[in-house]
Amino acid sequence: MKLIILGAPGSGKGTSATVLREEFSLAHISTGDIFRANIKGNTPLGIEAKSYIDKGQLVPDSLTISMVEDRLNQDDCAKGYILDGFPRTIAQAEALDEMLSKKNTGIDAVLSIVVDDEEIKARVAGRRVCEKCGASYNVNFKPTKVENVCDLCGGKVYQRDDDKPETVEARLKTYYKNTQPLIDFYDKKGLIVEGDNNKDSQICIDQIKEGLKAKGLI
Ligand code: ADP
Ligand code: ZN
């Protein structure tokens, strides 16, 4: 099964992707995570990406597309995957179509995670992430048991630079301008499966699974 997960920053798409990855044994390809790993490793890609990410802007399509193409060619993707954070522009979506049609394949469904605007802002401002295992917390809604220590692995929990309030506004603007049009793009292809993540992530996951069942994918 080849899935895309779409949603605003802070909509919980990373969390939903993690649950679905486990349940359906999919490779989880998060472009944000790949960029952050490159930034941590000080690679040329990381250095270039950081200058955009810190401003809440998108990394240029050319860099992002070739990075994803490399990743999709790795062996673990053969069992199916969930793309988290890609595509984020129509140009990226068209490039993905082209990449996959060269392999005579295509995306099976696009999961759209829906959350109200005000809720998004509150969630992103409070979000904290484990630097070791990537687990996600929220100082307002889902705090760690011990302050700044991951419940799962004991790693240090921190606030991403791009979750600082001054960057969040810019990221949301970028999302509405560049990424939201993708919902229409994929709706026209009949691929959208919606999950409402305003209340409970379990409700969201259940809706998504119902949608995948209705499409005969699970
Ligand atoms: P979120 O979805 O919470 O904004 P991500 O971890 O997915 O966070 O992405 C963090 C940042 O990495 C984005 O704000 C953007 O600058 C960059 N990025 C991630 N994926 C892409 C992409 N497909 N195209 C361009 N930039 C990207
Ligand atoms: Zn952890």
Ligand 1 neighbours by CB, cut-off 6 Å: 9-10, 31-32, 35, 52-53, 57-59, 64, 85-86, 88, 92, 162, 171
Output the pLDDT for position 81: 98
Ligand found nearest the CA of 134: 2
**Judging by DSSP bridges, how do beta strands 136-138 and 127-130 pair with one another?**
antiparallel
End-to-end Cα, the chain, rounded Å: 9
CA of 29 to the centre of ligand 2 (A): 19
Output the pLDDT for position 166: 84
Ligand found nearest the CA of 37: 1
Q: Rounded distance, CA 34 to CA 46, Å?
A: 9
Output the pLDDT for position 122: 86
Output the pLDDT for position 118: 85
Q: For residue 41, what are its two tokens? A: 């490793």
| Candidate of 59, 68, 111, 113 to mutate for ligand 1, largest count of ligand atoms within 8 Å of Cβ | 59
Output the pLDDT for position 56: 93
pLDDT along the chain (218 residues), means of 10: 95 92 96 94 96 95 96 96 97 98 97 92 91 92 95 96 88 94 98 96 96 97
- Enumerate the active-site residues: 13, 88, 127, 160, 171
Pick the atom of ligand 1 nearest to 87's CA: 23
Output the pLDDT for position 169: 87
- Does 87 sit behind a cis peptide bond, omega within 30 degrees of 0 on the bond before it? yes
